[in-house]
Amino acid sequence: MRITWYEMKKALTSPIVLILFVAFLGFNGFQILSQSHAKEEINAVNDLIATYGRTITDESLSKLLNDLNEDAEQLGGQDGAESFLNELTYERYEAFSQTEKEQVDRLELFYTYYIKGRDVEERYKGIHMDELRSEFLVSVKESSRFEKFMSQEFTNWEERYEEIVATEEYKEWFFLGEYKMHSEMYRSLLKNAALQSVILIVLMTALVTNYEVEQRTQLLLYTTQKGRFLMRNKFAASLLLATLTFFMLLIPSFILYFTIYDFSEVWQTVVSSGLNWEYKLPYITWWELEVWQFFLLAIAVEWGVVILIAVLGFFLSLWIKNTYFTWILSMAVLIGLFLLPSVFNAYPALQFVTLLNVTTLLLNPHMYFSGGITLTRVQYFEVWSLLIGFAVATILSILSYRRFMKKDVV
Amino acid sequence: MQLFWLEFKKIFSWKLLLLLGVVNFLLFNLLLSFHLEHFPNGRPQTDVFAIEQKLIPLYGAEISEEELQEIKSMYEDRVKIADELVANDPEAEELNLANYEDLVAYNDAQEGLSEYFDQLLYGKGEQILWELQGWEGLIENYEFQADSLAAQVAQNTGAQKEYFQNRIDNEVYSFYSDTVTMNFKDYKTNMAIIIWINVAILLSLVYFRDTRAKLVPLQYSSQHGRNVYRTKWWASLAATTTLVVTLVAVYMALYWTNGTASHLQLPLSSFGWYDHWYDMTFLQYMLLSIGLIVLFAFGVAVLSLSLSTIAPNAVVLIGTQILLFFVMIAGVSTYLIRDMILLWNAPLLTPLATSLFVVVIIVLAWLIWKREIKRDFMN
């Protein structure tokens, strides 16, 4: 354990690693802050949930409308909130005092929520599953068995959609889809932190693994009693470093994120909420996941990906024995894996198999656990990708470790 | 001289060439192939490009009143095809559409019209309807030009206002779209990133390899002495030149397959969507872009050599390169390459930032040389 720690220190005490850490954190912080101009507006959903409850029901909607109408009356609107807002002109708005303006803004915002909440049922039930199915299956019609499999997946997803509709799971308040909070949180922040850790992890793994060769101490070290078993410590150090790096980048970024955006009431909302509708489709998740569950699971999956990439770096280090080339080749392998599926555009079954690689998971945390009309949205996609990744990583590591144990030390 | 060639050959070792081949293949597929395969990207861009290729040899950059009438009559000829299509379609008859004009009247009150239009647009009318949209876009843009320039004058202040006022005064109106220039801007930005990465990979090991092998004391105490350092520097710059020229040639040859030669002689002011501080032909703009990319490639070369000299280990080498490339990709490639002389950036941004970059590079190189020639190499 002590040796593992010393191996880790070789990477951690390198000043450039610390500088990169600070630079990455600064970049994340800058990105969060530069997006945060509407934070008060966004956070208002917490008041909404606190007052009217998490679920959107007819009673809570009519209560909300009543309150809005009263507010409008206080501001001088005689016929309720809707006509008040419709008749609101720029001149009239400017005539209000500062506090009144804030009230008007709030009224307008809550009225938007009211409209979205009122219409969510119609909108959600208006998803045409049949159209989506044909759109989805157009790309996979080639091989019959594969089509059967994908068709079955789609049927399962359709059932899940029907279940959501039947249990009214989607009727929960969430940030308006226009704010793109789900994308912001996962596609921007989590993905960036994961990418940044990949850059650092491969560098650290290569440094630790190749250290003896680079420092010309391998002849001395590998002939001691501890000898080549040192590589086990180096492997453990790589994995620990990967974990440490990932969370060191993630935790400060998300602390800043959650101090700016208030999630206190939203944590228990389901991700499949009908308001969480950013693009063509809402996030129709395979399971009923609340925001905090999705958050923790997404981090766990990215953590697995990051560990796998550390193993990749370790594997390449054992063969190349040169930190510089190891780093470049690791990045090249990752880019290659990312590009690989596009080679098989004509063979959907092969394309599906090649999509089950770590880069798909690395780059798309916002699409985890959700069904949809692309090949990557099947159920358990994350589990499969990780399992395949771990199988490949284990085999490669064992092979190269055994080779390392036997080969000439020089 | 012999040492120079030996060093030159050492830089281009087969291993490194192989690595560069792999890196170029991957980065080409990641960053560039899209801008070749998907040019012109979608419709009506495809049609606009085809129309422009037809019109440029006939009328050139400036369109006179007569020429505009001729272009309009060409458009009218095309409209007749659409008229026929509509006239012979039983479905159109049901909707009481006699010709193309009725079809695009955008009569909201008439039920089923917009659905029918969409159906034609993505069905049997695909070819002609998109083409007509292309024509209309170009012609309308030209006819409203004076108004939109006047609006720009009203909206802007300072030098930008002056620019638009000048265009009104001199009656510099643009007829063509920016389909071609936008594609070139995307292409050259990504090409710049690839070339810089290549240069960094090529040169980062030149001195570092010796440091790691603890060769430096041997080199500096030999008869040739510290001239080894200089020779390696010149060999590296020669290698950079070779690599950059090759890559620019290959990637511009690939760009050539987009078939934009027709637009080369047009001035930038004849492309309607973007405005630039200086007016030059597209060819000149292209050459200026390449010149700037090459200049920054040599900057990256000097930085990589300096880093290679002072880096104590590979982690520092790579870590600093990551930071450098963050600046090069997020800053330099966006503001100084893509938006080089764009009207919406400060006019002095590119010249000043580039000069500053050059000065920093020269000073850095000078400092590193001085240090290397004097330093105590046993440390």
CA-based nearest distance B270→chain A, Å: 36
Q: What is the structure's pLDDT at B63?
A: 85
Q: Which of B315, B320, B313 is nearest to B364 (CA)?
A: B320
Half-sphere exposure of A174 (CA within 13 A, CB side): 28
CA-based nearest distance B23→chain A, Å: 7
Percent of chain A having pLDDT more than 70? 99
ipTM score assigned to the predicted complex? 0.88
Q: What is the mean pLDDT of residues B204-217?
A: 88
Binary contact (A206, B314; C-beta < 8 A): yes
CA distance B205 to B208: 5
**Of B27-36, B87-96, B322-331, B341-350, where does mean pLDDT reach its minimum?**
B87-96
Closest CB to B315: pick one of A199, A322, A323. Answer: A323
Each residue of B272-291: pLDDT tens digit?
Answer: 888 999 889 999 999 999 99
pLDDT band at residue A410 under the 50/70/90 scheme? low
CA distance A301 to B295: 43
CA A265 to chain centre: 21
Angle, CA A257 vertex, CA A238 and CA A290 arms, to 5°: 85
Residue B353 in tokens: 């930032």
Residue B190 in tokens: 């990504």
CA distance B54 to B259: 13
CA distance A320 to B319: 19
- Indicate the helix (H) or strand (E) that contains A367: none
Q: Which of A116, A119, A122 is nearest to A175 (CA)?
A: A116
State yes or no: pLDDT of B264 exceeds 80. Answer: yes
State yes or no: pLDDT of B377 exceeds 80. Answer: no
CA distance A154 to A355: 18
- Residue B184 near residue B271, CB atoms below 8 Å: no
pLDDT band at residue A38 under the 50/70/90 scheme? confident
CA-based nearest distance A196→chain B, Å: 11
CA-based nearest distance A160→chain B, Å: 32
Contacts of A6 (CB under 8 A, 6+ apart): none
Binary contact (A20, B319; C-beta < 8 A): yes
Residue B334 in tokens: 């966006």
CA A158 to chain centre: 24
State yes or no: pLDDT of A202 exceeds 90. Answer: yes
Closest CB to B205: pick one of A15, A324, A332. Answer: A324
Residue B136 in tokens: 């209309």
Question: When comparing pLDDT for A365 and B213, which is higher?
Answer: A365
The overall average pLDDT reported for chain A is: 90
B44: preceding bond cis by omega (within 30 degrees):
yes
Question: When comparing pLDDT for B125 and A404, which is higher?
Answer: A404
CA distance A365 to A182: 10
CA distance A376 to A352: 7
What residues of chain A lie within 8 A of the CB of B319, using their CB?
Answer: 14, 16-17, 19-20, 203
Name the A residues in 318-377 with CB < 8 Å from any B CB: 322-325, 327-329, 332, 335-336, 338-339, 342
Residue A165 in tokens: 């509709």
Enumerate the β-bridge partners of residue B276. Answer: B342
Interfacial residues of B (vs A; Cβ cutoff 8 Å): 19, 22-23, 26-27, 29-30, 201, 204-205, 208, 212, 214, 313-320, 322-323, 326
Optimal mutation site among B313, B315, B317, interface A, most CBs of chain A within 10 A: B315
CA-based nearest distance A214→chain B, Å: 7
- Residue A31 near residue A218, CB atoms below 8 Å: no
Q: Which amino acid is at A316?
A: L
pLDDT band at residue B12 under the 50/70/90 scheme? very high
Give A388-397's long-range contacts (Cβ < 8 A, gap of 24+): A388/A356, A388/A357, A389/A304, A389/A305, A389/A308, A389/A357, A389/A358, A390/A304, A390/A308, A393/A308, A393/A311, A393/A312, A393/A315, A396/A311, A396/A312, A396/A315, A397/A235, A397/A311, A397/A314, A397/A315
State yes or no: pLDDT of A143 exceeds 70. Answer: no
Residue B205 has φ and ψ, to the nearest 5°, of -95, -5
- Residue A288 near residue A272, CB atoms below 8 Å: yes
State yes or no: pLDDT of B345 exceeds 70. Answer: yes
Q: Which of B235, B248, B181 is nearest to B206 (CA)?
A: B235
Each residue of B39-60: pLDDT tens digit?
Answer: 888 888 899 999 999 899 888 8
Half-sphere exposure of B331 (CA within 13 A, CB side): 12
Q: What's the N-to-C CA distance of chain B in angstroms? A: 29
CA distance A214 to A206: 10
Interface contacts A/B by beta carbons within 8 Å:
63
Residue B351 in tokens: 């010249």
Binary contact (B30, A335; C-beta < 8 A): yes
Nearest residue in chain B measured CA to CA from A334: B26
DSSP string, A75-87: TT-SSHHHHHHHH
Q: What is the structure's pLDDT at B201?
A: 95
Domain boundaries, chain B: 2-40+176-374, 45-169
Residue pointed to by tokens 């930085």: B303
What residues of chain A lie within 8 A of the CB of B21, using their CB?
Answer: none
Q: Which amino acid is at B331?
A: G
Q: What share of chain A is helix, strand, coil (3-state, %, to 5)?
A: 75, 0, 20
CA-based nearest distance A366→chain B, Å: 22
Q: What is the mean pLDDT of residues A90-98?
A: 83
